[in-house]
C-alpha cells in the first residue's frame, strides 16, 4: 500500500530569502518517497484547503524580534479550524550580522503560539533558523544545505 503524506509549506518573505528556504526545504522533502509537498505564499493559502493536509510547515522572516504580523494572524486562524492537520514545524530567517541574538527567536515564538492556540498540533521537529547577511539577504554561506537536510528530516519523520 502506498499512502501519500501531504504537507503544505506556507511562508512569508519580503525579499525572497525565506522563500528560498521554503523551496529548499521542499526539495529535501521530495527526496523522501511517499511525501507530497505543496508550497505557497502565506497570503495565497486557502484555509479551507489546509484541512486536507497531514502536516503544515510555517516560515517567517524575523521582523522586530518575532514572526510577522501575517504569520501570527495565520496561526490564530488555524486555531479556529477543525483540522485534520496533525503535525507542524516552523522555520525563520534572521539577521545575524554582529551577533546571533535573533537565532531561533521567531521560531520559538511561533512554536509557543501554535502550542497555545492550536493545541492539537504536534511538533515534528524543532524549528529551523537560518541566517541572512543583510536585511535583503543573501543567506549566509553554509545555511542552504541545512534547509535541504531539514526537509529530508521532516519528511522522514512523517513517514515513520
Ligand X SMILES: Cc1cc2nc3c(=O)[nH]c(=O)nc-3n(C[C@H](O)[C@H](O)[C@H](O)COP(=O)(O)O)c2cc1C
Choose one: 7-15, 42-50, 81-89, 142-150; the region binding ligand X (CB under 6 A): 7-15
CB of 154 to ligand X, least distance (A): 19
Distance CA 116, CA 74 (A): 14
- The single residue among 3, 43, 48, 64 that binds ligand X, judged by CB under 6 A, is 64
Q: Establish if 138 lies at the interface with ligand X (CB under 6 A).
A: no
Selected binder of ligand X within 4, 34, 65, 115 (CB under 6 A)? 65
What are the start-end ranges of the H helices in 10-124? 17-30, 47-50, 69-78, 105-117
Q: Compute how many residues bind ligand X; rule: CB under 6 A.
A: 19
Q: How far is the CB of 12 from ligand X (least distance, A)?
A: 7
Question: Residue 4 or 135: which CB sits closer to ligand X?
Answer: 135
Closest-CA residue to 59 (of 33, 104, 93): 93
**Spatial separation of the C-alpha atoms in residues 91 and 130, rounded to whole Å:** 8
Q: Reduced to 3 states, what is the DSSP secondary structure of residue 118? A: coil
Half-sphere exposure of 146 (CA within 13 A, CB side): 14
Under rule CB under 6 A, residue 29 binds ligand X: no
Residues in contact with ligand X by CB under 6 A are 13-19, 61-65, 93-95, 102, 132, 135, 137
Amino acid at each position: 500500500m502506498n499512502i501519500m503524506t501531504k504537507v503544505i509549506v506556507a511562508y512569508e518573505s519580503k525579499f525572497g530569502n525565506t522563500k528560498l528556504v521554503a523551496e529548499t526545504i521542499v526539495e529535501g522533502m521530495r527526496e523522501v518517497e511517499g511525501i507530497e509537498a505543496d508550497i505557497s505564499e502565506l497570503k495565497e493559502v486557502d484555509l479551507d484547503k489546509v484541512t486536507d493536509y497531514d502536516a503544515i510547515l510555517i516560515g517567517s522572516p524575523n521582523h522586530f524580534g518575532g514572526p510577522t504580523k501575517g504569520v501570527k494572524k495565520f496561526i490564530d486562524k488555524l486555531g479556529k479550524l477543525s483540522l485534520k492537520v496533525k503535525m507542524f514545524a516552523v522555520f525563520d530567517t534572521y539577521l545575524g550580522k554582529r551577533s546571533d541574538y535573533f537565532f531561533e527567536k521567531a521560531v520559538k515564538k511561533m512554536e509557543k503560539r501554535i502550542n497555545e492556540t492550536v493545541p492539537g498540533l504536534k511538533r515534528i521537529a524543532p524549528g529551523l533558523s537560518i541566517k541572512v547577511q543583510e536585511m535583503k539577504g543573501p543567506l549566509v554561506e553554509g545555511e542552504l544545505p541545512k534547509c535541504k537536510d531539514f526537509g529530508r528530516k521532516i519528511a522522514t519523520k512523517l513517514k515513520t
